[in-house]
Structure 1
């Protein structure tokens, strides 16, 4: 069936309007974890990100195949120093060698914009690792200065929200007393280098631990009455923003109010064990859908309403080799084989067929115009299976955006 004029205009708006998918690409980052035995090649992942117009990603290592594949693209990449390597990089010579080996050969062709030194170090219960973090970051930064890369690549470390002693209400946010001394050099480094304070913030965990008290709509960012901070009188309609503002208050109390707080991870599992209350495909769909819409609106938190909150969604893929409860392996938007873990848009949109038809009022869309061109190029390079998966997911989110606006 051919497109009507209205349908053609709608498709054009999906691709080009200020409310369209292109804006999403400049708002949201995504974590590209690789703890799985059947993931697609980095070149295929790049095509997926390009199709989705996502231009920011974070990897949990310095995988040379990924860094080489992402060269000469518009994708900004944050790389990671594994926790087990952090102590070695206290030595400036080791740090210089690490940068020379893992960063310099790829930059600037690959747009490496950040280095995450370790992950959730201050909740690792490893005292040696915690004390090594700030010196290692300083050594890496000094190496970047030596190579002339410090103005392009910032250095930080992602923190579990468990570093907070208090997070409710947000204005009472404070660090755990036992972490204040060990985190002080870290915060001093961030302030001196104008680097961000990254937090891994998961409202899901709060809901799972206390579903009887915490409203599900509040953690999913659905419409709800929210809560008012009794001290600031700021109103919060979702827990993620409250968690971010609690982190801002916590570091401000220590004199580091000028350090920007960003979300290095947030997401919701689509599957969990029997005791993992709330882990479901429907809740994951709602949480990530609402997150996408808020990012499209360039929202800030109630405390910082005029500054867009930078967020990295966790994650691009389910990772079948991760240890722990079932939820740990089910945060992805995609299964590794290219099928969607759940449909972010309307359930009426097909997820496994390469044939679509509809009218403007339907959630399904016909492949036409620039969409057809994209699918043809993808099929030529990587074959029809992944090509259709990429295109379908792109069109799914476009359908979501159309419905929202």
Structure 2
């Protein structure tokens, strides 16, 4: 999360790729096994949504860049009680240093359904930051909060994006505080959700980083060949409109569901694999967006596991790159804790590598993707 705003000389966010470790499930591997899994995948940047000590202990001393979360339910207390904020920081941050690089204050608060939390968000952020500062940890541990796209009133074309009027009174002082603290603007960006909301008007290839004509922004005369870049630049446009044109945007959540309800036809393993595979390629290029070409895109993928206890539509429980047993949900170049049916894809790709007569037949694209996986893994190993 906010770790990515650290100086380039000693970046707390290693490379461009991180992952969210959600745990609303009763069938996922232990934190120690997750450490093993992520080491195998060479993913170093990890974000959790609380400060569970079993997780913090498992990650302690491992070299991972861990962002912990202050859940929404704590915001009112932390906002009104500085001593409680200090106790929370001592118990959940100081004890586990230097393994923690950021604290996420709530998640998707502004624009959410609990309006009472809007006013508590800034106070909680200030008190947590003050506690970190008093303990000499504010340079190593940054504070921020992740926003959903509900904070915007319009995002198409990207240059037209502004913050919604009903949250502007809360957003501007929040941005001022985070700007002074050196924190980025953290965005949860889901092309999947935008596509699901308007499949008749959006080309799914545009959402999946596939070849497409894209969109043209007439105001900036910029072309977008994928939706994620457009979503990020919409956030930059809103920040500029609010007077924060130098603030960096970090993607704290993005992903694609592999299973959904009857009205979620786009939630398939094939689409999920395509999105996450192409996202890895996009991030490996270490480039910016059309509006901010020098700001390298950094993103946390949602999520490690499918979470079987999450409420809501079926898609909410099926964003995981890995199944509950630690095997891969679909192949984007990672190895799971154990083999699965998805591994057969890798085997077929390896066969094609040794039998090139299939290259220009039906197996050409799997072969090409296998080579891309090899390159991607090498690139991310170097970045990490």
Q: Work out whether the TM-score is over 0.5.
A: yes
Whether the 8 Å contact between 1:158 and 1:200 is mirrored in structure 2 is yes
Distance 1:195 1:25, change over 3 A: closer
Matches within 5 A, 1:244-393: 244-344=232-332, 351=342, 361-362=353-354
Counterparts of 2:347 and 2:224 in 1: how far apart (Å)? Answer: 40
**Aligned twin of 1:368:** none
Aligned residues: 344
1:402 aligns with 2:336: no
Shift of 1:350: 6.1
**Aligned twin of 1:49:** 38
**Aligned twin of 1:242:** 230
Aligned equivalent of 2:24, options 18, 27, 35 = 35
Whether the 8 Å contact between 2:111 and 2:167 is mirrored in structure 1 is no
**Aligned twin of 1:92:** 82
When normalised by structure 1's length, the TM-score is 0.81
Distance 1:210 1:103, change over 3 A: same
Distance 1:356 1:252, change over 3 A: closer
1:79 aligns with 2:68: yes
Shift of 1:128: 2.1
Whether the 8 Å contact between 2:331 and 2:343 is mirrored in structure 1 is no
Counterparts of 1:341 and 1:153 in 2: how far apart (Å)? Answer: 33
1:67 aligns with 2:81: no
Shift of 1:360: 7.8
Aligned equivalent of 1:176, options 156, 164, 171 = 164
When normalised by structure 2's length, the TM-score is 0.85
Counterparts of 2:103 and 2:26 in 1: how far apart (Å)? Answer: 25
Counterparts of 1:167 and 1:93 in 2: how far apart (Å)? Answer: 40
Shift of 1:299: 2.1
Distance 1:359 1:212, change over 3 A: closer
Shift of 1:219: 0.5
Counterparts of 1:205 and 1:40 in 2: how far apart (Å)? Answer: 28
Gaps of 5+ in 2: 1-12, 335-339, 356-368, 380-384
RMSD value, Cα:
2.3
Shift of 1:345: 5.4
Per-residue CA shift, 1:34-81, capped at 9, x if unaligned? 010011111111111111111100001001111111111221001000
